[in-house]
Amino acid sequence: MGYMDTQCAGPLDTPFVMGGETFRSRLLVGTGKYRDFAQTRDAIEASGAQIVTVAIRRTNIGQEAGQPNLLEVIDPRRYTILPNTAGCYSAMEAVRTLRLGRELLDGHDLVKLEVLGSKETLFPNMPETLKAAEILVRDGFRVMVYCSDDPVQARMLEEIGCVAIMPLASLIGSGMGILNPWNLRIIIDQARVPVIVDAGVGTASDAAIAMELGCDGVLMNTAIAAAGDPVRMALAMRQGVEAGRNAFLAGRMPRREYQASPSSPAEGLLG
Amino acid sequence: MSGVAIRLNGEPRALPGPWAIADLIDDLGFTGKRIAVEVNGQIVPRSHYGEIRLAADDRVEVVVAVGGG
């Protein structure tokens, strides 16, 4: 294969390697808040995502028997299922949840760790996140970790052995976009593992901005599920991530803040 | 045979006897479904569902994957 990738008819990208696995899509999506399983399936299909997050919850005894199960709709043989610890407020709850997730997925050990510290903002509790990450890495998990956009703690998580650092761009489910690109840039510049913006993306341009900053990927749920037409937004997000990635790889033109530069020749104007 | 009172997903539940975990799973309609089971805080591998019998006051959790981000 040459300069042009036959699949997307664009220049080749470097492979997206995380936790020893190579992925084609840099868009990771959640499965919450959809109208029904059919919409979940169609949106995920349109997003082109290969990594799909799920939550682990108690079965609704007496109500669910015979009802379809999410993993019958989102087939673990086709997608990399990423169990999360959404709703966990301590390291031990998160570790327990992911051990159950690993059992549920036949030993699959790529997981999304998040330990929350505030019910209003869903900001991470970083001391508990660091504690949980240590236990999980020691236990053989490959940990992708939701975290604050603090470069120092991001580095601590990398040193513990997390396979991806996933800072928030703004609050979970807020759709407020990339609020602190400068911190994200510092985290990206120093990291030797993939950096994935997790949380806060609201629309396709936000995803593109995250990728233009040099993020390795973007993880989102509400921006797709709460859109007017989730399946179309899933496609827009796919394109936004690809556009942002290509713009990053291409290298944008330098900004000329005080001087315009015409695109058309200045010579040969009609006298 | 006397009944066995356990807690299932935080709720009291009376079993007719010292059921194996497999019996409970079957009764719940989850046989062959993707679930994970924890008894008294310990994960029970699927291959052990037939062997482990539930005793009085056991705390049993049965979990599934649901939509989440």
Of the listed ranges A74-83, A222-231, A233-242, A254-263, the one predicted with least confidence: A254-263
Confidence of residue A60 (pLDDT cuts 50, 70, 90): confident
Mean pLDDT, rounded, for A134-153: 98
Residues A31 and A46: their CA atoms lie apart, in Å, by 13
pLDDT for B2 equals 80
Residue A242 has pLDDT above 70, yes or no: yes
Mean pLDDT, rounded, for A100-122: 96
B55 touches chain A (CB under 8 A): no
Distance from CA of A244 to the nearest CA of B (A): 22
pLDDT for A2 equals 45
Mean pLDDT, rounded, for A235-250: 97
| Nearest residue in chain A measured CA to CA from B33 | A69
Do A59 and B64 count as a contact with CB atoms less than 8 A apart? yes
For B51, the enclosing helix (H) or strand (E) is: none
pLDDT for A6 equals 45
Residue A102 has pLDDT above 80, yes or no: yes
| Nearest residue in chain B measured CA to CA from A83 | B65
Distance from CA of B41 to the nearest CA of A (A): 8
Domain B4-64, CATH number (from 3.10.20.30, 3.40.630.30, 3.30.300.20, 3.30.230.10): 3.10.20.30
Confidence of residue A1 (pLDDT cuts 50, 70, 90): very low
Of A65, A72, A105, nearest to B30 by CB-CB distance is A65
Amino acid code (one letter) for B13: R
* B28: phi then psi, degrees, rounded to nearest 5: -80, -10
ipTM of the predicted assembly exceeds 0.85 = yes
Instruction: Spell out which residues of chain B touch residue A53, defining contact as CB-CB under 8 Å.
Output: 68-69
pLDDT for A28 equals 98
pLDDT for A131 equals 98
Residue pLDDT, tens place only, A148-171: 999 999 999 999 999 999 999 999
Do A31 and B68 count as a contact with CB atoms less than 8 A apart? yes
Widest distance between CA atoms in chain B: 46
pLDDT for B40 equals 97
Do A56 and B36 count as a contact with CB atoms less than 8 A apart? yes
* Three-state secondary structure string covering chain A: CCCEECCCCEECCCCEEECCEEECCCEEECCCCCCCHHHHHHHHHHHCCCEEEEEEEECCCCCCCCCCCHHHHCCCCCCEEEEECCCCCCHHHHHHHHHHHHHHCCCCCEEEECCECCCCCCCECHHHHHHHHHHHHHCCCEEEEEECCCHHHHHHHHHHCCCEEEECCCCCCCCCCCCCHHHHHHHHHHCCCCEEEECCCCCHHHHHHHHHCCCCEEEECHHHHCCCCHHHHHHHHHHHHHHHHHHHHHCCCCCCCCCCCCCCCCCCCCC
Of the listed ranges A77-91, A140-154, A188-202, A254-268, the one predicted with least confidence: A254-268
Residue B52 has pLDDT above 70, yes or no: yes
Confidence of residue A9 (pLDDT cuts 50, 70, 90): low
Amino acid code (one letter) for B59: R
Confidence of residue A133 (pLDDT cuts 50, 70, 90): very high
Confidence of residue A8 (pLDDT cuts 50, 70, 90): low
B8 touches chain A (CB under 8 A): yes
pLDDT for A57 equals 94
Residue B6 has pLDDT above 50, yes or no: yes
pLDDT for A13 equals 83
pLDDT for A193 equals 97
State the pTM of this model.
0.92
| Nearest residue in chain A measured CA to CA from B9 | A58
Do A59 and B68 count as a contact with CB atoms less than 8 A apart? no
Distance from CA of A97 to the nearest CA of B (A): 9
B59 touches chain A (CB under 8 A): no
Residue pLDDT, tens place only, B17-38: 999 999 999 999 998 889 999 9
pLDDT averaged over chain A? 93
Of B37, B61, B65, nearest to A54 by CB-CB distance is B65
| Nearest residue in chain A measured CA to CA from B24 | A61
